[in-house]
Amino acid sequence: MQLTVSLQINAQLGECPRWHPQEKRLYWVDIDRNELHRFDPESGMDEARRFESPVGCFAFMPDGAFLLGMKNGFAYLNDWGSDPEPYGEQILEGRANLRMNDGRTDGQGRFWAGSVNMAKSAQDAALYRLDADGSVHLIEAGMLTCNGAAFDGTGQHFYHTDTPTHVLRRYDVDIASGMLSNCTIFHEFPHGQGRPDGGSVDAEGYYWSALFDGGRVVRLSPAGEIVAEVVLPVSRPTMIAFGGEDLRTAYITTARIGLSDDELARQPLAGSLFSFRADVPGLPEAAYRR
């Protein structure tokens, strides 16, 4: 699995890569710069939209619109050139240390997104589910940094992590109700070797995790065993997701945020978008449906 620099760019906190199959472009965000990007791998062109508040995650919608997870909660973006409009209850409004972070849409069109306490001052981040009618439901609380949201191809299993714990969790999903149960430890990473950030499941049901401060992405079997890894020339990969017409191009966003001048000098590609050809394709991204 040969690693390629798809886009050399100094993203402060690159995150949430999502492949748009009709446009054949990769969308992603730079959270620290309040930007939504779209990258055309054919031409190498990358465009960005800057907003007044950060975008932690997003989902495509069937009509070409976007659902954004922002500072105060969720927002609706009618198209690339529009201004975001608050959507649903603004669950984080007035909570200065919190913003939306990582998120994923399930096969029924519901959006699952978690928050982060940016100051790491309290375990008050939580996982939420946004339903088609715009209602927001608290799923699990008591976290610092919600990350790693992904569903397997059956929709019956959900993966998630509170990054500082170093633990990936797997849940059973009641597809009809959207409720989670039977939380188990899927994999616990040793301290000092990277923390689980964003992840995706491939077509064989294996979970890929980007290890922040670990300089690599790893592939875990359904039993939770590491079976492969791809080492990066940067220490802070943030998420891995699949794209390309055959969903076999694995894209990895990375970050520069928090690195010292000496570390940045040793990692000139920090913040870039990387890719490699995977042996097994990923799963298509589901759209949020309202």
pLDDT digits (tens, 9 = 90+) for 54-69: 999 999 999 899 999 9
How many domains, in total, are found in the chain?
A: 1
- The average pLDDT across 83-108 equals 97
- Region 182-190: what's the mean pLDDT? 98
Q: Give the mean pLDDT of 214-219.
A: 98
Residue 32 sits in which domain range? 4-277
As a whole number, mean pLDDT of residues 121-150 equals 98
- Give the pLDDT band (50/70/90) at residue 108: very high
The answer to the question of residue 18 being in a domain is yes
Q: Please compute Rg for the chain using Cα positions.
A: 17
- Alpha-helical runs (H) found in the chain: 261-266
- Plot region of 199 (φ>0 → left; ψ -120 to 50 → alpha; else → beta): beta
Query: Phi and psi (nearest 5°) for 212?
Result: -65, 130
Over residues 80-102, the mean pLDDT reads 97
Find the mean pLDDT for residues 119-141: 97
User: Is 130 part of any domain?
Assistant: yes
Q: What is the CATH number of the domain that holds 75?
A: 2.120.10.30
Q: What is the pLDDT of residues 241-263, one digit of tens each?
A: 999 999 999 999 999 999 999 99
Task: Using alpha carbons, select from 282, 253, 286, 264 the residue that is nearest to residue 36.
Answer: 253
With beta carbons less than 8 A apart as the criterion, state whether 203 and 281 touch: yes
Residue type for position 98:
L
Looking at residue 101, what is its pLDDT? 98
Q: What is the model's pLDDT at position 178? A: 97
Contact 179, 144 (CB under 8 A): no
Query: Is residue 288 assigned to a domain?
Result: no
Asked whether 230 and 237 are in contact (CB, 8 A), the reply is no
**For the chain, give me the number of helices (H) and strands (E)?**
1, 24
Domain annotation covers residue 268 = yes
Which residues have a catalytic role annotated?
A: 197
Question: Does residue 283 form part of some domain?
Answer: no
Instruction: Read off the DSSP letter of residue 202.
Output: B
pLDDT of residue 38: 98
CA–CA distance, 170 with 120 (Å, rounded to integer): 24
Residue 1 has pLDDT above 90, yes or no: no
The answer to the question of residue 88 being in a domain is yes
Mean pLDDT value across residues 19-23: 97
Q: Which one, of 170, 183, 200, 224, lies nearest residue 283 by Cα?
A: 200
Cβ-in-10-Å burial (0-12, 13-18, 19+) of 4 comes to exposed
**282 in a domain, yes or no?**
no
Reply yes or no on whether the pLDDT at 43 is more than 90: yes
Instruction: Report the C-alpha gap between 117 and 141 in whole angstroms.
Output: 12
Q: Rounded mean pLDDT of the chain?
A: 98
Q: Is the pTM of this model over 0.95?
A: yes
In a domain, 11, yes or no: yes
- Residue 95: Cβ-neighbour burial (10 angstroms; 0-12, 13-18, 19+): middle
Residue 114 has pLDDT above 90, yes or no: yes
Average pLDDT over residues 144-149: 98
pLDDT of residue 64: 93
